[in-house]
Amino acid sequence: MGLIIINFITFYMMLKLNKNKEILNENILLKQQSVFEKTYADNVKEAYDEVKRLRHDMNHSYVTIASLLHDAKYEELHDYLGEYNNESGNTEILVNTKNEYVNAIINTKLRNAKSKGIKLMCVISDNFTGIGGVDLCNLLGNILDNAIEAAEKCAEPIIDITIHSDDEKLSVCVKNTALQADCNGELRTSKKNKDFHGFGVKTIKRIADEYKGKSDFYMEDDIFCCYVELKRKSVTD
């Protein structure tokens, strides 16, 4: 009887230790995720600010262009315009809203999608009040990363982004072509580092919950849909 009790206690302690280890590892990953999300959002915004600065500085190039044209230095003008085109191509602004975080993340992701030959359709609201900038950046970043990764595997890669708003809520609907094998009910990641990349969907769901909204993921034929609805926070929330 004593041996049975000892074995039972040992088994119980092992289960508890394993559970505590799982909780500790989960907490460590959550803390790392939180730091990553804040750093990610800030870095994207800094990159977008740099793009705007470059575009502002490039406005001064018109003086040089006008001078070369006036002096009929067409060969020099041709070379200069070639350099100008290469530089400005990397600073293309496709979306311009009143929210810098939204501009930063969407333009960064859309430029990446265009470089992969993905066809883009985009209708975006201009009202993001009541939604935190970092939350917007991480929400849209995760949704678009998943959409790009899935779409680029398809023969006809397409991403359709619709962001609609009213006085009470903001809804985000991103649809993309996808292979059926990549989109099962568990939304498993195909990336090597599953611990961190698995947080993509968790982050989307967490943000939806934080704003008392909802998130939904589903397939329609060969189109994968991600729908997220967020309720705006008041100043007192």
Does residue 233 sit in helix, strand or coil?
Answer: coil
pLDDT in tens, 7-61: 556 655 666 666 666 665 555 555 555 555 565 666 566 666 656 665 665 566 6
Q: Is residue 174 over pLDDT 60?
A: yes
- Structure confidence at residue 71 (pLDDT): 78
**pTM of the full structure:** 0.64
Long-range contacts of 106-114 (CB under 8 A, 24+ apart): 106/140, 106/144, 106/161, 107/48, 107/51, 108/44, 108/47, 108/48, 109/140, 109/141, 109/144, 109/145, 109/148, 110/144, 112/148, 113/144, 113/147, 113/148, 113/151, 113/159
Distance (Å, rounded) from C-alpha 153 to C-alpha 145? Answer: 13
Q: Which fold has domain 94-231?
A: Heat Shock Protein 90 (3.30.565)
- Candidates 48, 192, 213, 234; CA nearest to 139 is 213
Q: Which sequence spans correspond to the domains of the chain?
A: 94-231
pLDDT in tens, 66-110: 777 777 777 876 776 666 555 554 556 678 888 888 888 888 888
Estimate the crossing angle of helix 199-210 against helix 2-58, to 10 degrees: 80
Residue 7 contacts residue 15 (beta carbons within 8 Å): no
Estimate the crossing angle of helix 100-115 against helix 2-58, to 10 degrees: 90
